[in-house]
Structures are given as structure tokens and as C-alpha cells.
A and B are shown apart, each in its own frame.
Chain A
Amino acid sequence: MKTFAFILLSIVAVSGRAQGIAPPIAEYRGSKASGVFEIQNTSDSAMAVTLETKSFVVDERGGVQYSDLDKNVHIRMGASSFILAPRDTRMIFYKASFPASPISFSIIATMTRAEQQTGMRLKFVFPHMIYVYQKEKLKRSDVTLEMANGKLLIHNTSQKLGRVGEVIASKQDLGGFPIYPAQIREVLIPGAAQATVKFEDGFSLSTP
């Protein structure tokens, strides 16, 4: 027993109700991004909140790739850390300036119980994803569709950021997502022979 390694790892979860963010996504068009989001703590414990800013892109498979905030992006907001009382909410106002759109960045809220925890600390992370689209909307001629090996490939041949509102394949709605400039976005649609893509800029495309 003397040589026995005793390893204790404990996770003390937050008691009570919920933590959340509203809205988790903000979209702007043009050269300004000025908005607000709300962080909610409906639990019985005070939460320590930190806000961090990052740039991000959503890659061709839908994964979010974060990076340090672009040096040319300046985000003004209030305190970047604070205590959120039990059953309280906090509005986070921000103003962002940047040289050009399209661009995407995030204000990432991390919440953890304020009081000292024994064991493994648990943190909830809710990013507020900000997309700033260019003034010109995505056009039908900017995008083509292709089916290949059970995947739908959405080719964005322009330098514009756009958003797919929904993908319908085999009567299933596969949801919406952003599509970045010059990106070939992959959507898995196993078994489907045909797909329709509805873009939020007001047009739809279907595969043959």
C-alpha cells in the first residue's frame, strides 16, 4: 500500500440550474459590428466569468478553427472578467472596428463557479460568434454544387462570406452554416442522390 499510487480526481459540478448565452451568433453586413449579448446564470452559485476575443473560421468540414484575434480587429467592451451573482444575467455591449469585411471573430465567455472548488474544476464555455458579411450579397453565380462520394460539395468561387440557410437531402434538413470565401464546403449526405441548398442571400441551388 505504501507504494500504491493513490490518485484522486474529482469533478465538482455546478449545482442548480443553467448557464447560457443569448444570442450565440450575431451577424452584420458592411463595416461595423456593434451589438450586445447576454450571459445568464440561473444557478444557485455565483459564477466567475471571463471574456476572451479570438478570430475564427469555420473550415470546409464545419470545424471551428480559432486563432489569436486579428491585429487589425479592435473590440471595445466593458470588463473582461466579472462575477455573475446567482440567478443573475449580464449584458455585454461591444463595438468592433476592422479594416474590411468579410471577417469573423468571437467573444468567448467562460464561466466557472466563483467559490473555491475541490477537485477538477469545471468550466462552461459559450462563444458569441460574430460574422460580418461584405456589403455585396452572395449571388447564384458565385456558387456551384457537386456530389462526390456521398458528399455534397458547395463551391464558393467568390471572395464573399455567405451563409447556407439549409441543406435538404433525402427529405432531411441538414441545417445551416457559414461558407467562407473561396471555400469548398463538404456536407455528408450518405445515401442521398440529390440535394437542395438554400442560401440566406435569397436564392437556392439544387444538384442535377
Chain B
Amino acid sequence: MKRFFTLTAILVLALFAATASAQLTATSAPVQMKAIVPEYIGLHVANTAAVVFDYSLMSDVSKDQFVQGYSGIMMIAPTAPSWNLVYNLSNRTVTVCAYATDLTPTTGSDIIPATYINGIPLQSTTLGGGGYVFFGQNNAGCGAGPGASTMIDKITGAKSSYKNEPTHMRPEGFSMLQINAHEGTDTVPLPGTYLGTLYIVAQAI
């Protein structure tokens, strides 16, 4: 019995000793850390002012020509919509396209086709242009959508707007937007307010 207690005591001491030893010699296991940065694309509004094509501001001569059905009478909006594109992407190709629907009157049935609207994209130089472009043109990369389209920007190898753009954001939208109310031989649209929808599609592939 005495031997049993002695053996037990030795075992208990050995156990404590082993534990103490483990505490003294323990090394911390490496803790892996992981950061996940998702890809992102977004549009910040730069110009929130309403864009109005107001034909009542035309010169008297132009008003008369307009009523007679002259073509090529443009009305420039005093302000044009613009945004700032921000992105953080894995070397993607990004396109920004604008789509416009036909303009329909609040009453009546006349329409002003979307293809009568044109503008100068802020990134027109990037696109190889410089002048104004009508909706429905210069849209090879846009694909079918909710209306007549025009490409307003294309970025190949898009990574970080913060790193790659001078202001950390990329200006998008239009420096000028205008409308030709009856391009060609259509009838003169009746007096009224014509409304439509402008879509801005920011897409990475």
C-alpha cells in the first residue's frame, strides 16, 4: 500500500512537471491572416443639375425654321449630366455606355426618337473621337439595351481608379448634350413636354 501511494505521488509530480515544462517550452502556432478585397465598380454623381432642352430659348429665326420643319436645329442643354467612375478591379475591361429611350409627350402620341439626341462624352478623346455623337452610333461594344446607345468610355486593363486616375476617379458622362427635335424629314413635334429615360451602364467583363 505504501508503495502504491509512493508511485501515485511520483506520477502526480511527473504530471505537474510535464505540464509546467509544456508551459515553459510552448511555442505559439502561426495564425494565418487573410484579407479579402472584393472587386468594385461604382458611379459618383458629379453634376446633379437638371438638364433641360428648352426650345423656347431659341432665336426667333430658329423658332420659325423649327416650325417649318428645318432639320439640324439643335438645342444645347445648359448643363450636361456627369459622374465619376470609381473601380478596383483585377485587370478587367470596362465599358460605360449610355442608353436613351425615345422621348414621349405627357399627352399626345408624338415621339422624339432617342437617335435625335447627341452629346460629347467626357472621354471622347479616349474613344478616338472628339466631336458629338448621336445615340445609336459608336456603340459597337454596348450591345442591345433599353434604348439607343452610345459608348461613353472604354477602359482596357482596369485595375485601380485610385492609383491610375489623376483625381482617383474617372470622369464620365457628357460635356455637352443636345437634341435635334426633327432630324431629317419627320413632322414637327407638337408643343408639349417630352420625357424619356437615360440609362448609364457601367460594366466590367
A interface residue numbers (CB < 8 A to B): 1, 3-25, 38, 40, 43, 56, 58, 61-66, 110, 119-127, 129, 165-166, 172-178
A4: B residues at CB distance < 8 A = 55-56, 63, 66-67, 191
Q: Does chain A have a CB within 8 A of B54?
A: yes
Q: Is A127 in contact with B201, judged by CB distance below 8 angstroms?
A: yes
In whole Å, how far is B93's beta carbon from the nearest beta carbon of chain A?
5
B49: A residues at CB distance < 8 A = 13
Q: Is B48 in contact with A177, judged by CB distance below 8 angstroms?
A: no
B interface residue numbers (CB < 8 A to A): 38-45, 47-56, 63, 66-67, 75, 77, 81, 86, 89-93, 95, 103, 112, 140-145, 155-158, 179, 181, 188-205
In whole Å, how far is A24's beta carbon from the nearest beta carbon of chain B?
4
A17: B residues at CB distance < 8 A = 44-45
Q: How many A-B residue contacts, CB cutoff 8 Å? A: 197
Closest residue of chain A to B181 (Cβ to Cβ) is A7
| Contact A176:B92 (CB < 8 A) given known A5-B55, A21-B41 | yes
Q: Is B40 in contact with A11, judged by CB distance below 8 angstroms?
A: no
Q: Is B140 in contact with A119, judged by CB distance below 8 angstroms?
A: no
Q: Is A7 in contact with B205, judged by CB distance below 8 angstroms?
A: no
A56: B residues at CB distance < 8 A = 143
For the complex, give the distance between the alpha carbons of A123 and B200 in Å: 6
Q: Is A18 in contact with B45, judged by CB distance below 8 angstroms?
A: yes
Closest residue of chain B to A172 (Cβ to Cβ) is B157
| Contact A40:B194 (CB < 8 A) given known A62-B93, A176-B93 | no
B56: A residues at CB distance < 8 A = 4, 6
Q: Other than the known A25-B205, A63-B143, what 11 A-B pairs have Cβ atoms closer than 8 Å? A: A7-B181, A18-B45, A25-B92, A66-B144, A66-B145, A120-B51, A120-B103, A121-B198, A125-B202, A174-B156, A177-B205
For the complex, give the distance between the alpha carbons of A14 and B198 in Å: 12
Closest residue of chain A to B49 (Cβ to Cβ) is A13
Q: Is B45 in contact with A13, judged by CB distance below 8 angstroms?
A: yes
For the complex, give the distance between the alpha carbons of A192 and B42 in Å: 33
Closest residue of chain A to B157 (Cβ to Cβ) is A175
Closest residue of chain B to A176 (Cβ to Cβ) is B91
Closest residue of chain B to A106 (Cβ to Cβ) is B203
For the complex, give the distance between the alpha carbons of A165 and B144 in Å: 26
| Contact A9:B143 (CB < 8 A) given known A18-B43, A24-B204, A175-B156 | no
| Contact A124:B38 (CB < 8 A) given known A10-B50, A15-B45, A175-B156 | no
For the complex, give the distance between the alpha carbons of A187 and B144 in Å: 21
For the complex, give the distance between the alpha carbons of A85 and B156 in Å: 33
B48: A residues at CB distance < 8 A = 13-15
B196: A residues at CB distance < 8 A = 9, 120-121
| Contact A119:B52 (CB < 8 A) given known A62-B141, A63-B141, A174-B156 | yes
Q: Is B200 in contact with A124, judged by CB distance below 8 angstroms?
A: yes
In whole Å, how far is A48's beta carbon from the nearest beta carbon of chain B?
13
For the complex, give the distance between the alpha carbons of A129 and B94 in Å: 12
| Contact A25:B39 (CB < 8 A) given known A6-B191, A7-B54, A9-B103 | yes
| Contact A22:B93 (CB < 8 A) given known A4-B67, A7-B193 | no
Q: Is B192 in contact with A43, judged by CB distance below 8 angstroms?
A: no
| Contact A129:B195 (CB < 8 A) given known A13-B49, A15-B45, A22-B38 | no
Q: Is B143 in contact with A11, judged by CB distance below 8 angstroms?
A: no
Q: Is B195 in contact with A9, judged by CB distance below 8 angstroms?
A: yes
For the complex, give the distance between the alpha carbons of A202 and B188 in Å: 61
Q: Is B91 in contact with A65, judged by CB distance below 8 angstroms?
A: no
For the complex, give the distance between the alpha carbons of A57 and B81 in Å: 30
In whole Å, how far is A60's beta carbon from the nearest beta carbon of chain B?
11
B63: A residues at CB distance < 8 A = 1, 4
Could you say which of A6, A15, A173, A176 contacts B192, with CB atoms under 8 Å apart?
Answer: A6
- For the complex of A and B, 8 pairs with smallest distance between CB atoms: A20-B42, A175-B157, A175-B156, A11-B51, A23-B39, A125-B201, A22-B40, A18-B44
